[in-house]
Structure 1
Amino acid sequence: MSKRKCLTIKEKISLLNDVESGIKKKDVAAKYGIPANSVSTILKNKDSILSKAGEVGNSNAKRVRLCVYDDVNQAVLKWIHSVRDQNLPLSGSLIKEKALQFANALGYSELQASVGWLDKFKKRHMLVHKVVSGESVDVSDESCEQWKNEVLKPVLKEYQPKDVFNCDEMGLFFKCLPDKTLTFKGDKCFGGKRSKDRITVLVTSNMTGEEKLKLLVIGKSKNPRCFKGIKSLEVNYQNSRKAWMTGEIFEKWLLDLDKKFGKEKRKIALFVDNCPSHPPEVKSKVKNIKLIFLPPNTTSKLQPMDQGIIKNLKVYYRKRILRKMIACVEENQQFSKTYVDLRTCISELSKAWQSDVKVTTISNSFRKAGFAKEFSSGEQEQESHVDSEPDVTEIWDGYREKNSFTDDVSLEDFLTIDDGLSTTGHLTEEEILDSIVMSNDDNDEDEDQDTEIYYPSKPSTYEIRKAFDTIRCGLQYQEDVPEEVFKSLHSCEEFYEKCVSKVQQKITDYFQCKTTVVDEI
């Protein structure tokens, strides 16, 4: 009797990739020297195998021996990442001492951080001893040019411009209005009350500027009160305790993006900075995304989003908020009913990103950061200027005429109030323990608890249909309206009617609609 062959986790993952690529099961079985029914068993346990691959660093292992004190291990691993992000040296004795501290805090007084425990911990998470040397704080222009030649140019040769992406976070005081600017000024918002007034936004686009991905918005509350009853948002929404980007949120976003491009049968290159919330180990978990990290402390020179894209997005967002407030005054509406909540912010921010930020602004920002393809003889590279910022002066003056607030606030103060706002940070030991012990389900605080805000109720079918007619009538009174505008409105109306047809209406809704019509007549 021949000896039964047991595949390693790495071989099982390779087998799964072969089957997904279209290779027949019998050919895969012959390749790995196992029976065909074993291939079926591996396919059946696909999710379990992939999850185990994430639990162990040594993918050549044949079995996963689960750690008895897994929460202690996770706490130690998060602490190591936090310490190394600060470029501090580590030793085995220091890791063991920290493990004992976490174990006591989590109620495992019997755990002994022995040499054997340390060896297993290092093997499980693929930790190796390295000498820390040199300085990475200052990066010269020569280093940037070297990176462009050795890393960037080969990538641009391998991928089409439409498949080269960049993402970056920005912090935003989304509730900050002109008359509240001074109360926000100088607030770095490392936590506390002001974290309810800020969000972090992940902005992503490709090199041509023609593919702007849906924004990822990170707030403090898991279920903001203004989201009640809402089932669809214009952005992806996540939450964290300080409204910061975290490694867990970034990994989830990246894996979802990887699935998206997998369905489109696309391979893309994504450039990101090497901040603490972008863990390097996620590179091995994606199949359709080549993740490339920018050199430390070079984002001001090499990050396309920092060359004007994010600044344009912020200015356009605040321009929309000012316009909204002016409309409020002109309609004699109560200020409290139009206060900027998270739901309003998401809508205006998404419109600013998808409609206001120009394609040329994005493409020129990439070019300014050095993301330019090689040109053959006879071709000329376009000038790498970035479009000027949108002019907000006129609408700012209009707001000041209709509202009275201190002259100490300038337009520049209002537009740059959250420049440099933290979007991530190093975890403290207390925060590490909190992340292990407490789930985010406890972070269910409502937004805007200290402010009386009007949240519009769900409009009726009749109200929405009437709104479509009102918009169409309003457009008909305008000159030279492009045909595409009416087509877009018609598409929106058709989509809504399809949604309505899926839901069987109550007969009382019908009578309510008829009553409203009679009242208006």
Structure 2
Amino acid sequence: MELCSKKKLHALSLAEKIQVLELLDESKMSQSEVARRFQVSQPQISRICKNKEKLLADWCSGTANRERKRKRESKYSGIDEALLCWYHIAQAKAWDVTGPMLLHKAKELADIMGQDFVPSIGWLVRWKRRNNVGFGARHVVAPPFTPELPPPAPTPQAQLPLSLKDFSPEDIFGCAEVPLLYRAVPGRVGVCDRVQVLLCANSRGTEKRRVLVSGLQAAPRCFFGVSSEALPASYHPDLAIPWSEWLAQFDRDMGRQGRQVALLLAARVVEELAGLPGLGHVKLLPLSAASTTPSLPSSVVQAFKAHYRRRLLGKLAAVQSERAGTSLAEAGAGITVLDALHMAAAAWAKVPLQLIVSSFVQEGLAPGKTALAPHKASEMPPVPGGLSLEEFSRFVDLEGEEPVSGVCKEEVGTEDQVGGREDGLEPLPTKADALRALGTLRRWIECKGTGPELFANFYACEEEVERLCCL
């Protein structure tokens, strides 16, 4: 008796999958008929239709290997994307990029992200295959203008006859650098407390880009054991905002969505980006250097800072209630960069949509016949107890105070004074620690006699933690 041979799996390449989608869209063929034409099963065609948006995004990105049949995601996706961003920048500058150079850069990025990762030759080969990267002769970038033409403007985007009316309100984005003293309190403003925060949102408030925080510390201890994917905001180990990398990522994100958007930027920033390769989906609209109009409405920035300061005060008050005799300055010294990332992400999420809409219209940064009158209560969060409105307003604008010089606490490791291991790094929590913490938290809430709303939030958190413990 002849045994039945196992049916051989026929996988389609990305290019073939796009052909499948085009055939289904442009003809009246059924999925079964298309499956027979490509000699695959009908469920495989169904999966292609289900992943239509992702496949089209990969196809439009220009970086995907269109002949590759299967795409296996990297375990270290954050390093993968960061290295690809760096590679595109190096390619635009006509650098000679070699394999050893990429391996060294990947290790450097892993260290910055706090990940225990050692790139190998095999990993590099797979990375190149995933991202359709190939070496070869270096291509010199041709000059964008012929010698007969007049000298070009500072940036390609500045030459285009663009205006706000060329874009829908949903596709007009504003962004701003916000200096922030992340743990400073009145009377204690240290030079090491300063970080730069990059905020970006569209004029309808429906899209807020992920917060980016740039700080002095290359690898804060508080990041030990924390997955870069779990960080609530992006962190860059330098006070200068990494505009090239940030814009490249923004451009890729818009490309995946098939959108053309405008980004309002200060003229100074646009001048610094003169060497930036052309962006395919983001058009820069520089504001005049003489203009007083901000690239992100000042009321939006002020609301973000107010929510951040209120959250900081709440955290400091909790520390003081736990440790009797602790001053506000001492409590503030215990705030870490990781705490700041969480508070910045929470503060940005709390800036109301209505405020963003009305602020863009009032500043003339978005089309609108009349500005919507924002409620003053929505611009600023409730004033914390024990402070007057004037005192809280001064606290919100604490960046205006003169900082004092000193050594950063996290850099010298004064955390060792509060106990823990000799290297100042606390051991990572176990599953048992997490479950015990849930029990302690629930018991504490029960003893406080709070309402059902808090328990509803706790149940959601408890369920998610228990799910993670089972992985």
The residue aligned with 2:187 is: 179
Q: Distance in 2 between matches of 1:345 and 1:368?
A: 30
> In the aligned structure 2, how far is the partner of 1:221 from the partner of 1:48?
21
For CA contacts below 8 A with separation 6 or more, give which structure has more relative contact order. 1
Cα offset, 1:223, TM superposition: 0.5
Aligned with residue 370 of structure 1, among 364, 369, 374: 364
Q: Identify the match of residue 431 of structure 2 among 461, 471, 481.
A: 461
Mapped to 2, the partners of 1:54 and 1:448 lie a distance apart of 36
**In structure 1, what residue type is equivalent to 2:380?**
E
Determine the structure 2 residue equivalent to 1:253. Answer: 246
The structural deviation recorded for 1:216 is 0.3
Q: Which residue of 1 aligns with 2:469?
A: 500
CA distance in 2, matches of 1:295, 1:21: 47
**What is the SS of the residue equivalent to 1:296?**
coil
Aligned: 1:54 with 2:54: no
Secondary structure class of the residue paired with 1:481:
helix
Please give the per-residue CA displacement for 1:419-459, whole angstroms capped at 9, x wherever unaligned: 4999xxxxxxxxxxxxxxxxxxxxxx983427447575433
Q: Which amino acid aligns with 1:479?
A: G
Which digits, 9 at most, give the CA deviation of each residue in 1:389-433, with x for residues without a partner?
3343634379xxxxxxxxxx95554332214999xxxxxxxxxxx
CA contact (8 A) 1:364 1:385 kept: no
> What SS class does the counterpart of residue 363 from structure 1 fall into?
helix
Contact 2:211-2:345 within 8 A present in 1 as well = yes
- Out of 380, 387, 395, the residue aligned to residue 414 of structure 1 is 395
Counterpart among 438, 448, 451 of residue 479 in structure 1: 451
Matching residue of 2:41: none
Match of 1:244 in 2: 240
TM-score, normalising length from structure 2?
0.57
- The superposition leaves residues 18-49 of structure 1 with CA deviations (integer Å, 9 ceiling, x where unpaired) of x899699xxxxxxxxxxxxxxx99999x9999
Map of 1:138 onto structure 2: none
Do the aligned partners of 1:323 and 1:395 also contact (CA within 8 Å) in 2?
no
Q: 1:124 to 1:492 in 2, by over 3 A?
A: farther
**Match for residue 233 of structure 1?**
231
Kindly state the Cα deviation for residue 266 of structure 1 after the two structures are TM-superposed.
3.4
1:168 corresponds to 2:164: no
Classify the secondary structure of the residue corresponding to 2:268. Answer: coil
CA contact (8 A) 1:215 1:235 kept: yes
The amino acid of 2:295's aligned partner reads Q
Are residues 420 and 259 of structure 1, via their aligned partners in 2, closer, same or farther at CA, if it must alter by over 3 Å?
farther
Question: Aligned partner of 1:414: which letter?
Answer: F
CA distance in 2 between partners of 1:471 and 1:369 (Å):
46
Give the AA of the match of 2:93. E
For residues 150 and 325 of structure 2, the distance between their equivalents in structure 1, rounded to whole angstroms, comes to 62
Tell whether the 8 Å contact from 2:210 to 2:233 is kept in structure 1 after alignment. Answer: yes
Once the two structures are superposed, the pairs formed by residues 214-233 of structure 1 within 5 Å of their partners are: 214-231=210-227, 232-233=230-231
**Quick one: distance in 1 between partners of 2:272 and 2:260?**
21
Q: Deviations over 1:294-337 (max 9, x none)?
A: 22132x3253332x111121122111111212222222367457
After superposition, where does 1:22-101 map in structure 2 within 5 Å? 54-55=92-93
Answering whether residue 277 of structure 2 is matched by residue 269 of structure 1, we say no
**1:334-353 correspondence to structure 2 within 5 Å:** 335=326, 339-353=334-348
Q: Deviations over 1:60-80 (max 9, x none)?
A: xxxx999xxxxxxxxxxxxxx
SS of corresponding position for 2:259: coil
Please list, as runs of the form range in 1=range in 2, the aligned pairs for 1:128-143 lying within 5 A after superposition: none
Letter of the 2:259 counterpart: R
Q: Encode CA deviations 1:476-518: one digit per residue, 9 max, x unaligned.
A: 9433628xx83x655544544444333xxxxxxxxxxxxxxxx
Task: Name the aligned partner's letter for residue 345 of structure 1.
Answer: A
Note the 1:195-206 alignment, pairs <5 A. 195-206=191-202
Closer/same/farther in 2, CA of residues 226 and 47 from structure 1, 3 Å limit: closer
Shift in CA distance, 382/364, structure 1 to aligned 2, threshold 3 Å = closer
Q: How well do the aligned residues superpose, as a CA RMSD in angstroms?
A: 4.7
Assess if the C-alpha contact under 8 Å between 2:85 and 2:248 holds in 1.
no
- Aligned pair 1:304/2:296, yes or no? yes
Paired AA for residue 478 in structure 1: T
> Does the C-alpha gap of structure 1 residues 48 and 276 become closer, same or farther in structure 2, counting only changes over 3 Å?
closer
- The one-letter amino acid of 2:211's match is L
* C-alpha distance in 2 between matches for 1:48 and 1:212: 24
CA contact (8 A) 1:303 1:369 kept: no
1:382 and 2:372 aligned: yes
Residue 21 and residue 382 in structure 1: after superposition, are their counterparts in 2 closer, same or farther (change >3 A)?
farther
**Which SS does the other structure have where 1:418 is aligned?**
helix
Instruction: Provide the C-alpha distance between the structure 1 equivalents of 2:240 and 2:89, rounded to a whole number of angstroms.
Output: 26
From 449, 453, 457, the counterpart of 2:412 = 449
Alignment gaps of 5+ in structure 1: 1-18, 25-39, 57-63, 67-120, 133-146, 185-193, 399-408, 423-444, 503-521
Alignment size in residue pairs: 331
Corresponding residue number in structure 1 for 2:102: none
Partner secondary structure for residue 304 of structure 1: coil
Distance 1:51 1:373, change over 3 A: closer
1:154 corresponds to which of 160, 165, 190 = 165
**SS at structure 2 position matched to 1:205:** strand
Map residues 397-412 of structure 1 onto 2, 5 A cutoff. Answer: 411-412=392-393
Using a 3 Å threshold, how does the CA distance of structure 1 residues 480 and 501 change in structure 2: closer, same or farther? closer
The answer for the alignment partner of 2:312 in structure 1 is 321
- 1:123-158, Cα deviation, whole Å (9 max, x unpaired): 8697999899xxxxxxxxxxxxxx9xx854423xx3
Q: C-alpha offsets along residues 448-471 of structure 1, whole Å, 9 cap, x if unaligned?
A: 427447575433323323444555
Deviation of the 1:209 alpha carbon: 1.5
What SS class does the counterpart of residue 178 from structure 1 fall into? coil
**TM-score, normalization: structure 1?**
0.52
Per-residue CA deviations over 1:84-141 (Å, capped at 9, x if unaligned) read: xxxxxxxxxxxxxxxxxxxxxxxxxxxxxxxxxxxxx998697999899xxxxxxxxx
Letter in 1 for 2:412: Q
> Kindly tell me: are residues 164 and 466 of structure 1, through their superposed partners in 2, closer, same or farther at Cα, counting changes over 3 Å?
farther
Relative distance call for 1:397 and 1:384 in structure 2 (3 A) is closer
Residues in 1 aligned to 2:256 and 2:290: alpha-carbon distance in whole angstroms: 35
Check 1:250–1:153 CA distance in 2 against 1; reply closer, same or farther (3 A cut). Answer: closer
What letter is aligned with 1:449?
V
Q: Distance in 1 between matches of 2:442 and 2:150?
A: 67
Quickly say closer, same or farther: Cα 1:327–1:250, change in 2 above 3 A. Answer: same
